[in-house]
């Protein structure tokens, strides 16, 4: 289960409740939920975190065996920060995040479904190295978009910009979210997830190198042409 309400934070709770009830009625043998690495009671003052916490509880109360994965930031989000020839960093971001590659995460989910011991657990999903958002963005730009300028926009400027016409999403979603990330660090330890599902090994450098490789041919493209 993974939902994005575009600012409707409570969508995660409602969606998780709906899916969990349907899974219980259908006799599903395991359900997984993508949660966040900062999710805990002390951070529930932020609406997104409160919704994720409520979503976790809905899954846990469903009676369906579950694996909840509290994920850190994904490397794939770095692509979204480069637009129109510029890399944009919103505000000062001092926290360090163990950036996670989607391929590593997919492996974790696959192993979780195959592991009886991973049932009814909340696991923390971290990548192998801790970087600030700016450090990670600069690595991505250097490797995948060389020459792209990295622009850091202060929060007070973003606050003024958010009241311009057409900037409602910045005001309602992006600005509060980035202020939250600037304030709140990752929580928990990946030790149990590493033991059960294997340690994540894809570094940001390795992930960036993979982005530059030509895509693998589809089965149709790889098939020999008829004589």
**How would you write 153-191 as a 3-class SS string?**
ECHHHHHHHCCCCCCHHHHHHHHHHHHHHHHCCCCCCCH
In tens, the pLDDT along 143-152 reads 999 999 999 9
pLDDT interval class at 221 (50, 70, 90): low
- Closest CA relative to residue 133, chosen from 204, 66, 210: 204
What value does the mean pLDDT take over residues 188-211?
Answer: 97
Average pLDDT value over all residues in the chain: 92
Q: pLDDT at position 211, please?
A: 93
Q: pLDDT at position 197, please?
A: 98
Q: Which residues pair with 155 in a beta bridge?
A: none
> Domains (ranges, CATH) in the chain?
11-208 (3.40.50.720)
Rounded to whole angstroms, the Cα distance separating 208 from 188 reads: 27
pLDDT at 227 over 70: no
Q: pLDDT at position 195, please?
A: 98
Q: pLDDT at position 216, please?
A: 60
Which one has a higher pLDDT value, 7 or 160?
160
Rounded to whole angstroms, the Cα distance separating 137 from 153 reads: 14
Q: In this prediction, what percent of the chain has a pLDDT beyond 90? A: 86
Rounded to whole angstroms, the Cα distance separating 124 from 200 reads: 11
Q: pLDDT at position 225, please?
A: 47
Rounded to whole angstroms, the Cα distance separating 149 from 142 reads: 10
Give the predicted TM-score (pTM) of the model: 0.88
In tens, the pLDDT along 75-117 reads 999 999 999 999 999 999 999 999 999 999 999 999 999 999 9
What single string gives the DSSP state of each residue in 197-222? H------HHHHHHHHTSPPPPPHHHH
pLDDT interval class at 213 (50, 70, 90): confident
């Amino acid at each position: 289960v993974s939902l994005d309400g575009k600012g409707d934070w409570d969508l995660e709770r409602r969606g998780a409740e709906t899916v969990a009830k349907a899974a219980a009625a259908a006799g599903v043998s395991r359900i997984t939920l993508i949660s966040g690495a900062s999710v805990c009671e002390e951070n529930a003052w932020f609406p997104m975190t409160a919704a994720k916490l409520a979503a976790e509880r809905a899954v846990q109360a469903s009676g369906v065996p579950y694996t909840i994965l509290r994920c850190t930031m994904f490397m794939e989000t770095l692509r979204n920060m480069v637009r129109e020839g510029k890399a944009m960093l919103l505000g000062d971001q001092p926290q360090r995040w163990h950036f996670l590659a989607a391929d590593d995460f997919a492996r974790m989910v696959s192993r979780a479904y195959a592991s009886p011991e991973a049932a009814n657990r909340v696991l923390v999903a971290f990548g192998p190295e801790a970087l600030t958002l700016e450090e990670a963005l600069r690595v991505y730009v250097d490797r995948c978009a060389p020459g792209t300028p990295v622009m850091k926009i202060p929060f007070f400027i973003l606050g003024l910009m958010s009241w311009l016409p057409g900037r409602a999403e910045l005001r309602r979603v992006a600005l509060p979210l980035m202020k939250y990330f600037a304030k709140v660090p990752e929580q928990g330890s990946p030790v149990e997830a590493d033991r059960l599902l294997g340690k994540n090994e894809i570094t940001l450098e390795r992930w960036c190198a993979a982005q530059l490789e030509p895509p693998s041919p589809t089965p149709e493209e790889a098939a020999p042409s008829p004589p």
